[in-house]
Amino acid sequence: MKRLRGRTAITMILAAALAVGILYFCIQLFAKGNDWVGFFGTTYYESGAIYDSKGVKLYDGQTGEYAENRSTRVATLHLVGDRNFGTSLRSALASRLTGYNPVTGTTLGSHDVTLTVDASLNETAYAALNGHKGVVAVYDYTTGDIKCLVSAPSYDPNNPPSDINENSAYDGVYLNRFFSGTYPPGSTFKIVTTAAAIEKKKDLDSFTYTCTGSLQIGDDTITCPYVHGQNMSINQCLATSCNGAYATLALELGGNTLEKYMEQAGLMNSLTINDIHTAKGSFEAAEDGSAYLGWSGVGQYKDLVNPCTMLSFMGGIANRGVAVVPKLVDKETLSGSSVPAAFPDGTDTYKIYSEETCARLKEMMRNNVTSQYGQSQFGDLAVCAKSGTAEVGGGNQPHAWFTGFIDDPNHPLAFVVLVENGGSGASVAGSVAAKVLAQATAGT
């Protein structure tokens, strides 16, 4: 009898262990089944196709073939990806492309995914970078739909360069700079400093600054590229991008205030774009009263931002203080058909500054274009923008930034252009933005 009871106890323990194991397996299946299906080594991986917004096939998961046109393949590679890319849609949308769900697995067949991106706009943006490394992106700041997303350098996945790992022209080629890069913002950060001044400096409307070309802070000097002028208003200081004026404002506002407003802008956050997580920006509050703090206020020192969060920040200003998180997927259908296979992706938003502050920033950024950058390159588009020339040291040319939005309900587009080691933000990155925006708004 004792032996029987012992065997019964052992059987019950084994049964309990089996039940626990089955429960654990089921939990893992529901939680991580899509990761298994999406793993590159599985036979089910990415069986659906990826299309652009106009129906151009960018990638066929059944055949492994990319777009027919070489320029399209190159300009969309960082979106589509190959086995070398972690932040790509072949990886991020793997479970959606296979049609996987925890209940039926992949038995119901694969799904096709149509993107919000226009491949022809990507081609224009990539060509406009003219061989430079960098980023170009455009999105609808009311819906979050990304219309253009380019990271350079790139290559033809059908014919990868043999010297890709040795040739410096391909440095960082596997990095999607839009999602994963961080850069000193240069004078684009002056938008953050301006927002802080609008809300914290009560006498801002009477603020004036006379630029002599430099500002002495202790034993250090904040320099401007040239003498900007006398008795400049805050609007003129932003339009001319006067470092001395903004260093003065930074010293008055303090490092903690600037950090707070950078965080409020969303520039220190990581956004999630269709399961791809963006890099976080950073700000180090230098000692109050120091030249380092002055440089922080003009977008140098240790300031770093990510191009995607900068784009969303611009959209938030345009959208009266509500930033819409960018997204890439327009629809998901059963492969080879127009039958919907999933509900449309939702729209995520977050608050940045007050509506009043954003209205003031919008007015000032519009003035930048009309008084400084030149309206003619943008035709009739009501472009509001800020340029940036970010020093990177090491004897290298500065990074060129140009970012902003179109203030027009018929063309609700925000944009960001970064040209690595490109030089002047307004002339180099601004000309890229002008070409892309002209095509993005043509015929609409």
Which of 443, 437, 444 has its CA nearest to residue 147?
437
| pLDDT tens track for 79-88 | 999 888 878 8
Element (H, E) at 435: helix 430-440
Three-class DSSP category at 400:
strand
Q: How far apart are CA 217 and CA 101, in angstroms?
A: 61
Measured CA distances, 159 to 40, 162, 172, 296 (Å): 20, 9, 18, 44
| pLDDT tens track for 69-127 | 999 999 999 999 988 887 888 888 887 887 665 544 544 568 899 999 999 999 999 99
Please tell me the predicted confidence (pLDDT) of residue 44: 45
Torsion of CA 137, 140, 143, 147, to 10 degrees: -50
Q: How far apart are CA 390 and CA 9, in angstroms?
A: 72
Which residues in the chain come in under a pLDDT of 50?
A: 29, 36, 40-41, 43-46, 103-104, 106-107
| pLDDT tens track for 227-283 | 998 999 999 999 999 999 999 999 999 999 999 999 999 999 999 999 999 999 999
Q: How far apart are CA 90 and CA 172, in angstroms?
A: 19
H helix runs in 39-115, sequence order: 70-80, 89-92, 94-98
